[in-house]
Amino acid sequence: MKIHDISIRNYRGIDLLDHLSIGDLNTFVGKNDYGKSTILKSLDAFFNDKFTHHDVYKGINDDEVTEITVRFLAGEDINYLALDTNGFICLTKKFSFTAAGKLKKEFIYTCNDIEHETIQNCWGVKEADINGFLDSLGIAYTRSGRGVTNLSKIEQICEATAGLDRYENSYEADDYIKNITKQYDSVEYPDYALFDAEQDLSVGSTDFQNQFKPIATQSLNNNKGLTDQIESNVQGDLNTEFSQITSLMQKNVPELEAIVPVVQCNWKNLVKFDLGLKFKSESHDIPISHKGTGFKRLLMVAYFEYLANKESSKYNIFGIEEPETFLHPELQYELLSSIIELSDNSQFFITTHSPVFAGATSESNIVVVRKENSISRYFNHENEIEIIKMVIDELGIRPDFNLLNENIRKVVFVEGKGDCLFWELALKKLNGGKPEDIMFVPCGGDQVEFFVNAELCRKLNRNFIFILDSDKGAVDFESKERNKNELKGKVESMGGGFEILKKREIENYYHREAIQRVIGDQLQLPDDFVVGDYTDMHHEIKEKILKDTNINFKVKNNTDVFSEMSKEEWSAVGVAEGDTTDLENIVRSIVS
């Protein structure tokens, strides 16, 4: 489940924050101690119940509690009784303390409920209750059998109560989560991992060990037969030995029948490890404890990437405080590139003082944090302020000074480095090569960096064009389409050109035969594998080609495939526009 927005009440420096819109990559910019990390910490409280007395807003009234509400995009056509009145999965955590100082937690969901005295909370009750609802409505139903699920029964209730009003109501969420995740494959409660700026990165620390504990836990689960056997053997040995002890004790306690040992093995706390690093230039392993903090931070981000790329893993949400800390600027760009790629299938919340990270964030998902009378305030593009100017002023973002090269007369803005390579290859195959006066600049159209560079292009009289994926077929296509139309107006007002691919993204321009040639003889592509115009090719390739294989094939931005494609294949994968294709026409626009 992907987060749509967050609302917070009475948490740390926030008195009230309503519906802060969230995207895939979210960056928080502001001075120290203004509250940048508060959103990341609030998510840790929401997902992982990390909450203490110190997290309570200091101006809270006696009758109030701390509330953190997260609304998720539903992801598919989910029964509307499971959603709030705006069509979101809406979950709230409430935190308070008893008079004795004990933490009290409530977990509730908000739904579009039925206006009825007894038939309510359909998604938060057990099957017996749903059957009771059907009985009270006089509806004939099958208790069990093929195709009979709680969902099918709830849909019967919806139909039977269609004449009743609906209203928004809230209930305890534990059974709700169990029910909705069972009925919908696409709904899975996400994991949240926070990479704290103050986190102890020494290998022996609890923080470091806990980050990697899921690997050891999974291994223990995979070897449950062995651990069960060990527990059984230990139980048997103890039974044997204590039977002898029982016999001896019965001399003094004749009524004693047996002493029964109970084995409890805490396997999760059994495994601890160290890490050694083997470099090509070194003959011996180097303990990671001998490496700098910046290296350890890169290791942690690589671990995040590992989690996000695991085929069986949940949807992941990551919070990273100041990822630029201890990193050389060049490594910041490498780290940023990895995060942007990961944000296709995960969400990131980043606090930063770095122009590298802030400059590459979409205008719609960058938040400027300020403090007013000790209260944190959050400003984004929905606050009707010039968010771009605020970020530029805050961090001093500078343009790409390669634009000052007098030989560069034309600039092509694209969404990422992979798109740069794609269009360079398109020019090579469809135009015979890339003209020397053209420069490709990767920065998304609503990223702060784009506006800085575009403004420099205008001042230097450089012609520029922006090329975007169409994103057709994506879950959030409608919102992306609105952003594109808004961006188009801004680009054209600055004197630039604007082009949109006809297909979903550049991976939809793979040629099937080129993929086969890159993979080679190790696997024949299945007959049902098709490079669709609007399908999610990442998912298609993983499921229909790479699943259950050891083939090393890069799914996203695979330049091997594009390089392998002939001129005829480049023309063939384009979408026809009269006598030419969209690729050929965009190449002509670039050259001209």
* Higher-confidence position of 397 and 438: 438
Give the model confidence (pLDDT) of 24-81 as tens digits: 888 898 888 888 999 999 999 999 999 999 999 988 888 899 999 999 988 668 899 9
Using CA atoms, how far apart are residues 8 and 66, in angstroms rounded to an integer?
8
- CA nearest 428: which of 518, 556, 563? 563
- Is residue 202 scored above 70 in pLDDT? no
Q: Strands 410-414 and 463-468: what pairing?
A: parallel
Determine the pLDDT at residue 322. Answer: 85
Q: Can you tell me the distance from the alpha carbon of 367 to that of 365, in angstroms, rounded to the nearest whole number?
A: 6
Q: Which amino acid is residue 8, in one-letter code?
A: I
pLDDT at 475: 73
> What's the whole-number average pLDDT of the chain?
85
Q: What are phi and psi of 172, to 5 degrees?
A: -60, 140
**Residue 231, token pair as written in the block:** 């527990």
Question: Which one, of 428, 573, 553, lies nearest residue 512 by Cα?
Answer: 573
pLDDT digits (tens, 9 = 90+) for 525-584: 988 899 999 999 988 888 888 888 888 888 777 889 999 999 999 999 999 998 999 999
Flag whether pLDDT at 313 surpasses 60: no
pLDDT recorded at residue 205: 59
Q: Per-residue DSSP letters for 489-518? A: HHHHHTT-EEEE-SSSSGGGG--HHHHHHH
**What band does 444 get if pLDDT is binned at 50, 70 and 90?**
low
Instruction: Mention every residue, 6+ apart, whose C-beta is less than 8 A from residue 252.
Output: none
DSSP letter string over 282-319?
A: -SS-EEGGGS-HHHHHHHHHHHHHHHHH-TTPPPEEEE
Q: What gap in Å lies between CA 537 and CA 341, rounded to an integer? A: 15
Task: Please identify which residue in the block is written with the tokens 């800390």.
Answer: 325
Q: Provide the 8-state DSSP code for 575.
A: P
Q: Which pLDDT belongs to residue 592?
A: 87
Q: Return the pLDDT at 383.
A: 58
Q: Cα separation of 269 and 283, whole Å?
A: 33
Q: Distance (Å, rounded) from C-alpha 152 to C-alpha 155?
A: 5
Q: How far apart are CA 122 and CA 563, in angstroms?
A: 54
H helix or E strand, kind and range, residue 128: helix 127-136
- Answer for the pair 412, 439: CB distance below 8 angstroms, yes or no: yes
The per-residue pLDDT for range 458-478, each reduced to its tens digit, is 888 889 999 999 999 887 788
Alpha-carbon gap, residue 575 to 217, rounded angstroms: 49
Mean pLDDT of 413-424: 89
Predicted confidence at residue 514, as pLDDT, reads 94
The dihedral over CA atoms of 163, 169, 174, 177, expressed in degrees to the nearest 10, equals 60
Phi, psi torsion values for 543, nearest 5 degrees: -80, -40
Neighbours of 567 (CB within 10 A): 12
Cα 442 → chain centroid: 22
**Structure confidence by residue, pLDDT tens digits, 341-394:** 777 778 899 998 877 777 767 766 788 888 888 888 888 766 555 777 777 777
Res 8: pLDDT: 96
Per-residue 3-state assignment (H helix, E strand, C coil) for 213-270: HHHHHHHHHHCHHHHHHHHHHHHHHHHHHHHHHHHHHCCCCCCCCCCCCCCCCCHHHC
Contact (Cβ atoms closer than 8 angstroms) between residue 352 and residue 27: yes
